[in-house]
Amino acid sequence: MNLGVKIYEYSNHFVHSKILIIDDELASIGSVNFDPRSFHLNFEVTTIFENESVKYVVDSFNEDLKKSNEIKLEEWKKRGIITRIIQGLFNLFSPIF
């Protein structure tokens, strides 16, 4: 089932922040992964924006998209067995509690 989700990989440099934009009216920027580990163990934070600040966040995000590559589901499914094994091993070292 295709729900319209798109995933992009930023190619300019590393960005750790997460951005959430809702209907160009509300935005969140922070390091939180929205899981118990981020909130309770790592004490990560996020900031909520509204009103005219959201336009700046949307514009900045759109500029970053220009420097990003969309990851297509079909291509992701074709990744090699070595890549799949390495990704699986890394998942073992990132428990969520």
Residues 47, 97, 76, 81: is their CA dihedral positive or negative? positive
In this predicted structure, what is the pLDDT of residue 57?
93
Number of domains in the chain: 1
In this predicted structure, what is the pLDDT of residue 80?
95
d(CA 70, CA 7): 6
Domain membership of residue 1 (yes or no) is no
In this predicted structure, what is the pLDDT of residue 44?
82
Domain membership of residue 50 (yes or no) is yes
Which residues in the chain land under pLDDT 50?
A: none
* pTM of the entire predicted model: 0.69
Distances (CA, A) of 50 to 31, 42, 65: 18, 26, 21
In this predicted structure, what is the pLDDT of residue 84?
94
Domain membership of residue 97 (yes or no) is no
Domain membership of residue 3 (yes or no) is no
d(CA 30, CA 32): 6
In this predicted structure, what is the pLDDT of residue 37?
74
In this predicted structure, what is the pLDDT of residue 41?
77
Domain membership of residue 54 (yes or no) is yes
Domain membership of residue 2 (yes or no) is no
Residue range of the domain that includes 22: 8-92
